[in-house]
Structure 1
């Protein structure tokens, strides 16, 4: 028996499939397909907020440098404002890596629900629903590999 995918909730082997608390032998699955739900605008808004959290200190630092250079002030004041603006812009660097990692993980997870459906003799059955795009891709690829005619021999 070949195991194509295994996690605590899903098992796909050359003998059968266990998903969503149900078990099916491979010959029982007449057809398998997936659907995508609507986008979650909350996920997209969080990505935008993370992007702003990275950009705002940079913009504020650049604005401080611009004001310092255009303002008619003493050299010491101008120098202090330029250094302060540069430090403000650089202060975002340690935090930017963490924020960019969160944005990256948000793209891995996806912004919509994904479902795997199957047709059996009795009708259609929901095999899996997730918002984790990476996991969905692994499960769906494993399922299609298991259902290939060459794998069924």
Structure 2
């Protein structure tokens, strides 16, 4: 038996799929497909907030430099305002690494609900539902590899539609 994917809730082997304590033998699974739900506005708003947090100090620095030039004060005051603005802009450096990491993890997780379905004993069954796009992709690819190794011909498709043969011109 070959294990293609294994975590605490899902295990994909060459013989079966185990999800949250339920076991589906691959020999009993027919067509397998996936569906994507609507976007999560909460995730998108979080990404926007991270972007605003990244841009805020930089915008403040540029506005400070613009203010220094616009005020036409003495050279000492202008240099002080420009210096303070540059320090504000540089202050975002250490914070930027943390914010970019958070933004990167947000994209890895995804912003949609993802579901994997299969025809099991003649009925459509939802095998898995998650918002974690990276994990879902790993599980779905593991299912593809496992089903390619089973003797029965299996079909893996998207959005619940059956694959259509390509017509050649």
Normalising TM by the smaller chain, what interval?
over 0.9
Q: Any stretches of 5+ residues in structure 1 without a counterpart?
A: none
Matched with 2:103 is: 103
**Contact 1:33/1:117, CA 8 A, preserved across alignment:** yes
Structure 1 residue 71 corresponds to structure 2 residue 39: no
- 1:31-58 per-residue CA deviation (whole Å, 9 max, x = no partner) reads 1100001000110011011001110110
Question: Which runs of at least 4 in structure 1 moved beyond 6 Å after TM superposition?
Answer: none
Shift of 1:20: 3.5
Q: Which residue of 1 aligns with 2:18?
A: 18
Structure 2 unaligned runs (5+)? 152-169
More helix by share: 1
Cα displacement string for residues 104-125 of structure 1 (whole angstroms, at most 9, x for unaligned residues): 0000000011000111114111
- Residues 78-134 of structure 1: per-residue CA shift (max 9 Å, x gap): 110010010011111110110011000000000011000111114111111110000
| Aligned partners of 1:20 and 1:127 also within 8 Å | no
Equivalent-residue separation in structure 1 for 2:118 and 2:77 (angstroms): 70
Distance 1:32 1:104 in 2: 30
How many residue pairs get aligned? The number is 151
- What CA distance in whole angstroms lies between the structure 2 residues aligned with 1:109 and 1:74? 52
1:21 Cα deviation after fit: 2.7
Residue 117 of structure 1 aligns with which residue?
117
Q: C-alpha deviations, 1:5-47, integer Å up to 9, x for none?
A: 1111111111111013310111100111000010001100110
* TM-score when normalising by structure 2: 0.86
Counterpart of 1:81? Answer: 81
TM (normalized to structure 1)?
Answer: 0.95
Kindly provide the CA deviation profile for residues 58-78 of structure 1, in whole angstroms up to 9, marking residues without a partner as x. 011011011112212121111
8 Å CA contact 1:3–1:13 kept in 2: the answer is yes
**In 1, Cα distance between the equivalents of 2:50 and 2:26?**
44
